[in-house]
Amino acid sequence: MDNRLKNVLRPRPNIGLRSTVPDGAPTAPAPASRPSVMQAPVLVLNATFEPINVTAVRRALVLMLKGVAQAEETNHAEVHSTSKKIQVPSVIRLLSYRHIPQQSRALSRKNILLRDRNTCQFCGRAFPASELTLDHVLPRSRGGRSSWENLVACCYTCNNRKGDRTPEEAGLELQRRPRPFTLHTSRQLMRLIGFRDEKWRKYLFY
């Protein structure tokens, strides 16, 4: 279904979305590498209206087209298929209740960047995911593990500056201590995004 959406669903041009690339960051030469409406965050509610996750517009549309979820809130953008147009969702709700286990998320690059809010943990600047890498706080050459407590989002400039050293040796300071991505972390992120999207706020009642 994802591959079909890539070919069929196309966002309308000139919808007025602002770039999230900060001042001074390299500008991507190709439009495909720029922030897209299909990558915008969507709040996911359980059937009971409890907020449980944040996903991308593309995945939200897949769930809606499969009949798994319905839009509760939409924004001003639209996507077009061969037969109809669909308003881009801002909040979706699952039609069947899903049990959410109280456990940490899987350790992955995507979840590390989400936990760190696409922000370099050394210089504190936000970047697109394509301009970030993962850094081992304690280098692997010194026994550092690939774990939630030792991996952080890092821009390429800071990564090159740090090299195979500890932050202290490289004259760098961590913005915050890295911790596992738990349900509590996920809800904190929902609240932060909710401050920017007023359509989310009435669902973030916990």
Q: What is the pTM of this model?
A: 0.54
pLDDT tens, 108-157? 898 898 889 899 999 999 999 899 999 999 999 999 999 999 999 999 99
List pLDDT tens digits, range 20-79. Answer: 444 444 444 444 444 578 888 899 999 999 888 888 899 999 999 999 999 999 988 888
Structural tokens at position 65: 């087209």
Give the β-pairing of 132-136 and 10-11.
Answer: unpaired
Q: How far is CA 133 from the centre of its chain?
A: 14
For 17, the token pair is 């979305």
As a whole number of angstroms, the distance between CA 153 and CA 181 comes to 13
Q: Are strands 41-45 and 85-94 parallel, antiparallel or unpaired?
A: parallel
Q: How many residues does the chain have?
A: 206
pLDDT in tens, 94-116: 999 998 766 557 888 988 988 89
Residue 103 has what pLDDT?
A: 56
pLDDT at 55: 87
For the chain, domains (ranges, CATH) are: 2-10+36-101+182-201 (no CATH), 109-170 (1.10.30.50)
